[in-house]
A = this chain, B = another copy of it.
């Protein structure tokens, strides 16, 4: 049991992180001032800098926390990291692993991404705001899209290698899939009275991405 000083410091740091998450969600990351965080944590302004060098550094710390608990949750299971657009838990249904043309597996993949974002909405949303604030020409939007969808891309590439025709380049299709997922998450999850349930969204996305608007009997 670490005594007094260190313990209290960790307590304060946790309070700051917690307050930050709340503020990021309510006011938005960009609009949140250092003083908003310290005030919400019930501490004085100056304390912030005893724990974090800047608001960006704090966000990185929150991101690290998210990975840590994400990795812990995955641990013994499948592959992949708990990234933005994907990050998978256990997803094996029948013979072929990670076959995205199998409805159950596709849905499972989407669900993991959705749940990750749902559980870490303040951090995910903050990262999104940060990327947008970097401006269009920074290229961060595209980078974020491609980095967050490695799993999709890999599975699609495998599919393609197996001879399955895709709508386009695996990277591009994967980015498109990640884009819908994260755009809808960012738009819907924070809403007060949610118009669509998680299941409804996931079912819709699964069917749309699997068979398109034409539906299963297109050929």
Could you say which residues of chain B place their CB within 8 Å of the CB of A134? 28
Q: What class of interface size applies to chain A in its complex with B?
A: 35 or more
**Are A208 and B28 neighbours in the complex by a CB distance under 8 Å?**
no
Residue on B nearest A122 in the bound complex, by CB: B136
**Are A186 and B136 neighbours in the complex by a CB distance under 8 Å?**
yes
Could you say which residues of chain B place their CB within 8 Å of the CB of A29? 135
The residue from B106, B139, B180, B217 contacting A190, defined by CB atoms under 8 A apart? B139
The residue from B28, B168, B187 contacting A203, defined by CB atoms under 8 A apart? B168
Within 8 A of B (CB), among A19-51: 25-31
- Assess whether A188 is interfacial by the CB under 8 Å rule: yes
Cα distance A191–B217 in the bound complex, in angstroms: 38
**Are B204 and A165 neighbours in the complex by a CB distance under 8 Å?**
no
- Assess whether A3 is interfacial by the CB under 8 Å rule: no
Q: Which listed segment binds B: A4-12, A76-84, A169-177?
A: A169-177
Residue on B nearest A164 in the bound complex, by CB: B215
Which of the listed residues A25, A30, A176, A177 has the most CB atoms from chain B within 10 Å of its own CB?
Answer: A176
**Are B187 and A145 neighbours in the complex by a CB distance under 8 Å?**
yes
Could you say which residues of chain B place their CB within 8 Å of the CB of A138? 28
- Assess whether A209 is interfacial by the CB under 8 Å rule: yes
Residue on B nearest A100 in the bound complex, by CB: B213
Within 8 A of B (CB), among A104-128: 106, 121, 125, 128
Q: A106-B213, A136-B189 are in contact. List 17 more A-B contacts (CB 8 A).
A: A26-B137, A27-B135, A28-B133, A28-B138, A30-B30, A101-B214, A132-B133, A156-B213, A159-B213, A167-B205, A167-B215, A172-B200, A176-B205, A177-B213, A179-B184, A209-B213, A211-B214
